[in-house]
Structure 1
């Protein structure tokens, strides 16, 4: 979770607060719908008054811990008591399953329907059978993207759809256009990302509307950084991950789709 309102010093104090809240309210039943609406109103008012620099609250939900509520800002998750006197940042983990409920919730919120991706506006790379599918949003001037692309060469039997989103300034726009408009865009992309060979200068007219459409799609789905990965099951991962993690996610997506 990388928004400007991250807090740096929560740690043990917040963990203690969660435990204390859970212990004092563990025997209380879940609130009825009417009470949840009252909590929703109270939390929105309290957070707006006490933390005016925060964005508006989008949703308030119950959690498995009685008396502790999920407060959602876009795709950011925080937790609070019913009165909005405490706001907690961090993962809620189900210790029985060792699963982060916070991360599972964020993945659900950020999921992208793979079938809704504008694949005609992507560079396409097929490796081996190409049976598995992966979409990646990248900027050609992104250093992390270059690191990611080097690791991606180790992943086999996959079709990769690369969406160019020039978000790092005018140079990114120029380089993205040069790659997209080259005679062999995929080769130009690989030359630049893996071998630092600049794409050839664009000569004549070129239909580069795909770049604008990719940017519009990324804004709609709040893809604000590169690389951003979308797997076939809709799961989205922000940031560069290694080939082993890509393999794990591809397998997980395939299992879900089977």
Structure 2
């Protein structure tokens, strides 16, 4: 969980196993207002509650904040940090909800700010946020993407690891052939030449987009259905994910 520094009131940390029936429903406005008033100050500096929903299990209320989910009672006296499972199917209901609320509108991503690579027929599409200093990103590009065909890859240069990441991204973006410069660096370790002083990049806009999408690590892979996989998925996992997308 990214929500930390919970205050001194009673906090219960569990991974609950319950049978879920139905979906979450919007909380009564008065209950929602009270939970926000009581719980929000305990979630840490600057953390705001996005929504409160009544769940069909155990009288719990789902509290959504900072891209995460936790649970509380009607009065906001207890906080439950953990995952709720369907006891019959072992389905992780909390993960399903987190995946749902973190989906993006893929078609609305600003692809003009990304590198574009097409392999084969390019029918399958992903967007990947990568840092040029990210070892896992290099491994993803050196192995996974080499083994995958018929895919279009949009790469957003998301500089979060160091100031040097921004410099490397600018040099790559300002190269005569951006895609070649990116592959030369990520695959072969050959740095791009210094960018002209007057060359502009979308670095700051991509960083702002990544923060808005709550991307906290690289690589982060987004699919056409809006779902995401954090981390350097291997080709088997990527193919499995593609198979679930209509």
- Category of TM-score, reference length = shorter chain: 0.7 to 0.9
Aligned to 1:229: 221
Q: Aligned-pair RMSD on alpha carbons?
A: 2.8
Aligned match of 2:159: 166
Aligned length: 237
Tell me, yes or no, if structure 1 residue 190 matches structure 2 residue 187: no
**Is residue 14 from structure 1 mapped to residue 6 from structure 2 by the alignment?**
no
Shift of 1:189: 0.7
Moved more, 234-243 or 93-102: 93-102
| 2:44 matched residue in structure 1 | 53
- Deviation string 1:218-255 (CA, Å, 9 cap, x unpaired) is 233222322111100111222222221111112212x2
**Match for residue 200 of structure 1?**
193
After TM superposition, the structure 1 = structure 2 runs for residues 106-121 of structure 1, keeping only pairs within 5 Å, are 106-121=98-113
Query: Residues 58-207 of structure 1: matches in 2 within 5 Å?
Result: 58-150=50-142, 151-203=144-196, 205-207=198-200
Give the distance between the partners of 2:13 and 2:177, measured in 1 at CA.
Answer: 56
In structure 1, stretches of 5+ residues that fail to align are: 7-11
Tell me, in whole angstroms, the C-alpha distance in 1 between the residues paired with 2:13 and 2:169: 47
1:13 shift after superposition: 6.7
Whether the aligned pair in 1 keeps the contact of 2:184 and 2:190 (CA below 8 Å) is: yes
Gaps of 5+ in 2: 7-11
Provide the secondary structure at the position in 1 that maps to 2:122: coil
Q: Deviations over 1:172-228 (max 9, x none)?
A: 1110011111111111111111121111222463232x2232223223322232211
When normalised by structure 1's length, the TM-score is 0.81
Following superposition, the deviation at residue 3 of structure 1 comes to 4.5
Change (3 A) 1:196 1:5: farther
SS in 2 for 1:136: strand
Give the greater-gyration-radius structure (CA). 1
Measured after TM superposition, the shift of residue 39 of structure 1 is 2.6
TM-score by length of 2: 0.84
For 2:177 and 2:40, locate their aligned partners in 1 and report how far apart those are by CA, in whole Å: 52
1:232-243 correspondence runs (5 A):
232-243=224-235
Aligned to 1:9: none
Quote how far apart the aligned CAs of 1:4 are: 4.3
Task: Specify which structure has the higher proportion of helix.
Answer: 1
Q: How far, CA to CA, are the matches of 1:36 and 1:204 in structure 2? A: 57
Greater Cα offset, 109-118 or 79-88:
79-88
Cα distance between partner residues in 2 of 1:83 and 1:219: 32
Counterpart CA distance in 1 for 2:217 and 2:182 is: 19
